[in-house]
Amino acid sequence: MDVSGAKDTENQNILIWGKHGKTNQQWDLVYADEWKGDPVKGELNEEFGLYVERPFHIVSQLPGNRYLDLVSNNFVIKTPNSFKTQIWYFDQKSLTIKSKSANKSFDIKNSGKT
């Protein structure tokens, strides 16, 4: 089975195609009697390796160990402080990392194509 055009969009067609091993041909099986449901606040999302809605800091491995900070919709590194702009959490609904201060998800300009 192959997701047509490798487009991850709602109602995208599935077709039979020669094996090429790319992501759009990779699937996981979840047995209905074993599915525990989505993790809730405080539980580990094992696929992403993050705890749901558990606040964390993102720390640079440069010698100053500065924290990732959000300033006017741009990322910068800063000395640790007590501002919410340095606090992040994993949102189970959107499957993204969000800012505690702005409640916005990380986004890569032009889907990382520039």
Per residue of the chain (114 residues), give pLDDT as tens. 889 999 888 888 888 889 998 999 998 776 778 778 889 999 999 988 999 999 999 999 988 889 999 988 888 999 999 899 999 999 999 889 999 998 888 776 676 666
Backbone phi, psi, residue 94, to 5°:
-95, -10
Residues 71 and 17 in one domain: no
Three-state SS for 29-62 is CCCCCCCCCCCCCCCEECCCCEEECCCECCECCC
Backbone phi, psi, residue 5, to 5°:
65, 10
Residues 17 and 58 in one domain: no
Residues 46 and 77 in one domain: yes
Residues 90 and 51 in one domain: yes
Q: What is the pTM of this model?
A: 0.67
Residues 26 and 42 in one domain: no
CB neighbours of residue 87 within 10 Å: 19
Spatial CB neighbours of 4, under 8 Å, sequence gap ≥ 6: 12, 13, 14, 15
- The whole-number pLDDT of residue 1 equals 85
- The whole-number pLDDT of residue 111 equals 65
| β-sheet bridge partners, residue 78 | 67
Residues 27 and 41 in one domain: no
Query: H/E element holding 14?
Result: strand 14-15
